[in-house]
Amino acid sequence: MILIADSAVQLSPESLDELGVNVVEYPMYLNGEPYPVSIRMGKAEKDALRALLKDKDNKVTTSGLKEEELLELYGRFPGERILSLHQSGKASTVTAAVIRKIVSEHKELDVTYLDSHHLTAAYSVLVKDTAEAIKAGASYEDVIARFDRARAATRHLGVVYDLFYLHRTGRIGLAKAVLGTALKIISILGSSEEPGVLKSIGKVKNYAQANQRFAAIVKEDMEAKGARRLSAVISVIGPHEEEAEHLRKSILDLGYDASVEVSYTNHSNMPHAGPDFYDIGYIAWND
């Protein structure tokens, strides 16, 4: 089986190579012109993109995956069963439509479209878990059944620092951005109630408070599910690696059988979440 993901995945190139994940790139545009991006961009290149995002005179955008690029990637694996696993179709309706069109029109390709229903780090932990199942030799039926269980047990939490960026991209009003910045408020987000739709779940004054809240949510979720095992991915952009590492330790300190990977964000999420954020996606396993 072949696993294909998109560049919203928050795993390092090294991890993706080790897991055998093939990645198709979301196109990116700077002020309407194509901007060169790759899942293999180094930290310096990502920080250069981050600087462009912070400049209020720039507009950095992405578009849906291109049909021709997906077909080219699928075509590299003739006769193989392909799982095409992507971030929430609600967040990228164009991509979802393109993949469904390919599946419908190209019967020569054995492609199964998997909608993760999740974003960013939550999408990434599902990619990681599915890749590990394939690598371990699980059957197609077992991989799909595992994916369905994992998707239902996945949660997403995050911190966004740059409120003025969120205002510039139309996600919050100017008054909220001004007030939140003046009061040094940190917005914390979650998508547990409606997967793939991030909503504000509170405000804190510092990252320690945010991570304490996140750890409490994780513990409550684990207890509600009767879960003892946890798989997680944390992604981060900007000078917030200390905060991400603190969150990793906070989760490990809960005492569960936990795997927590921290990755510097890949480019596709930066125009949406902004130049300063960290988030966690986790699966609470009750087996």
17 pLDDT above the threshold of 80: yes
Residue 81 is predicted with a pLDDT of 96
Residues 197-234 pLDDT 10s: 667 778 888 899 999 999 999 999 999 999 999 999 99
Task: Please give the structure tokens belonging to residue 176.
Answer: 């909220």
d(CA 167, CA 162): 9
Q: Are strands 81-86 and 33-34 parallel, antiparallel or unpaired?
A: unpaired
Q: How confident is the model at residue 161 (pLDDT cuts 50, 70, 90)?
A: confident
Residues 25-43 pLDDT 10s: 999 999 999 999 999 999 9
DSSP-derived letter for residue 269 is G
In order of their start, the domains of the chain are 2-152 (3.40.50.10170), 154-285 (3.30.1180.10)
Q: How confident is the model at residue 126 (pLDDT cuts 50, 70, 90)?
A: very high
Any idea how long the chain is?
287
Residues 242-269 pLDDT 10s: 999 999 999 999 999 999 999 998 888 8
Residue 193 is predicted with a pLDDT of 64
Average pLDDT, the chain: 88
Q: Which residue has the higher pLDDT, 196 or 13?
A: 13
14 pLDDT above the threshold of 50: yes
d(CA 127, CA 147): 9
178 pLDDT above the threshold of 70: no
Question: Using alpha carbons only, how large is the chain's radius of gyration in Å?
Answer: 19
Residues 134-147 pLDDT 10s: 999 999 999 999 99
Closest CA to 185 of 207, 210, 213, 205: 205
d(CA 56, CA 65): 26
Instruction: Record the pTM.
Output: 0.91
Helix (H) or strand (E) holding 268: none
Residues 226-242 pLDDT 10s: 999 999 999 998 889 99
181 pLDDT above the threshold of 50: no
d(CA 277, CA 213): 16
Q: How confident is the model at residue 187 (pLDDT cuts 50, 70, 90)?
A: confident
Residue 177 is predicted with a pLDDT of 37
Q: How confident is the model at residue 162 (pLDDT cuts 50, 70, 90)?
A: low
DSSP-derived letter for residue 44 is H
